[in-house]
Amino acid sequence: MTTDRYFDDLYRKDDDPWKIRNRWYERRKRALLLAALPHERYARVFEPACGNGELTAALAPRCDEFIATDINDGAVALTKTRMAQSPHAKIARMTVPDEWPDGRFDLVVISEVGYYLEEAQLGRLIERIRHTLSPDGAVVACHWRRPIEGWALDGEQVHAAMRGKLGLPLLCHYWTTT
């Protein structure tokens, strides 16, 4: 099954396929991610793979310009509706790493997307981040760390590649088994 079709099938059945809105693991992860950010406010933020916009809605108030994208039309529509009252948030359909917004970013959030990429795509994603991250910018990588079936990579491999190829200092690390 292609990645596009996988997400089309998921969002056709449910506007919150991973229960991001209410599941304890997801709410805790979102709170920890927001608390771990090194700055209170950012000029420009990019969140590829925004899903239904739960994290987008929490991050957007902390920046001047927010760009959120997703590969799935349904997810983009959900996030656009959710962010309709936030004119500084731009939501679009985009397939990363092949498509990437122009300009520099102070924060790039790679959350629950890396393991859906092939190894070469992950390498291109990391290069895109390296070339568009501002000199004092930050990257958040947040992934499920247990084994994942059906995809080329898992969370451990994604994080190891990002640590190894980005060369950024590790500011915060949180790992849980639940």
**The one-letter amino acid at 31:** A
75-78: long-range pairs with CB below 8 Å, 24+: 75/7, 75/11, 75/50, 75/51, 76/50, 78/11, 78/15, 78/52, 78/53
The tally of domains found in the chain comes to: 1
pLDDT digits (tens, 9 = 90+) for 98-113: 999 999 999 999 998 9
In a domain, 173, yes or no: no
Partners of 93 in the β-ladder? 70
Helix (H, G, I), strand (E, B) or coil at 67: strand
Distance CA(107)–CA(41), nearest Å, equals: 10
Domain assignment of residue 174, yes or no: no
**Any domain includes 177:** no
Percent of the residues in the chain that have a pLDDT greater than 90, as a whole number: 68
Give helix 73-82 / helix 3-13 axis angle, nearest 10°: 50
Q: Is residue 171 part of a domain?
A: no
Mean pLDDT of 45-65: 96
- Largest Cα separation within the chain, whole Å, is 42
Backbone angles phi, psi at 96, to 5 degrees: -85, 150
* Beta strand extents in 80-149 (DSSP E only): 89-93, 105-111, 133-142
Positive or negative, the CA dihedral 9, 114, 145, 21 is: negative
Res 4 pLDDT > 80: no
- DSSP reduced 3-state for 70: strand
State the residue range of the domain holding 143: 3-166
What radius of gyration, in Å, describes the C-alpha atoms of the chain? 15
Stronger pLDDT, 39 or 9, i.e. the higher one:
39
In a domain, 39, yes or no: yes
Domain assignment present for 109:
yes
CA dihedral 8→156→102→57, nearest 10 degrees, is 60
Residue 45 is assigned to a structural domain of this protein: yes
pTM, full prediction: 0.90
- List, for residues 58-98, the tens digit of each pLDDT value: 999 999 999 999 999 999 999 999 999 999 999 999 999 99
CATH, residue 27 = 3.40.50.150
Tell me, yes or no, whether 131 lies in a domain: yes
pLDDT, tens only, 17-34: 767 788 888 899 999 999
